[in-house]
Amino acid sequence: MPADLSPDARVSLTRLAHELGVSTSTVWRWTLRGVRGHRLPTMQLGGRRYVARADFADWLAATQDDPAPTPPAPATSRQREAAIRAAERELAAAGV
């Protein structure tokens, strides 16, 4: 189904950034790299990029539904020392 191209149904990336209080670069990053695996869909009209307001609402919901990945726990001193010893043994076995 084609996107609604009416002026009320779409917003430019610059205007969206202004409305959200974020940098235009941030909105561009959402379109190019995405957030949590979801890219913000855009359309191009006359050389300008726009976001359908409905697409933005769907994208925002999708990024909020996916939990943020949990970072791995930092290695303890013992784990780091064991990894260093294992690497040193591997290098010694390789003759380095």
pLDDT in tens, 24-61: 999 999 999 998 889 999 999 999 999 999 999 999 99
d(CA 17, CA 91): 52
Percentage of the chain modeled with pLDDT above 90: 67
Average pLDDT of span 8-17: 92
Q: Is the pLDDT of residue 77 over 70?
A: yes
Asked whether the CA dihedral 26, 27, 32, 37 is positive or negative, the reply is positive
What's the mean pLDDT when you consider all of the chain? Answer: 88
Are the CB atoms for 24 and 13 separated by under 8 Å? yes
pLDDT at 1: 43
What crossing angle do the helices spanning 13-20 and 24-32 adopt, rounded to 10°?
120
